[in-house]
Amino acid sequence: MSDRRRVTLNPDTVERDLAALVLTVVELLRQLMERQALRRVEVGDLTEAQEERIGLTLMLLEDRMELLREKFGLEPEDLNIDLGPLGPLLPR
């Protein structure tokens, strides 16, 4: 049997499973936003105030993600859906 993480829905855990799916999408978007912000900082495309605001926003989002994971009993690795031959959705 494979150790792949797949989305499975069970009537007893549907709220947690739905939260995991939504938080997975949010985490993917958060990581993409973070990478884009880093690129813009490296290029010098942002003012110091913009860099500070983006950094604060990303830190707050990460904190909120942690709170929501705790609320639903999820670990960060629970948000990394296995895409089969494509591998995991999120970088490890």
pLDDT in tens, 15-51: 888 898 899 999 889 889 999 999 999 999 899 999 9
Count CB neighbours of 77 within 10 A.
10
The backbone torsions φ and ψ at residue 31, rounded to the nearest 5 degrees and listed phi first, read: -65, -40
pTM (predicted TM-score): 0.73
Nearest to 23 by CA among 7, 43, 3, 39: 7
Q: Give residue 81's pLDDT band: very low, low, confident or very high (50, 70, 90).
A: confident
Q: Which residue has the higher pLDDT, 53 or 11?
A: 53
| Segment 48-67, tens digit of pLDDT | 999 999 999 999 999 999 99
Q: What is the pLDDT of residue 68?
A: 94
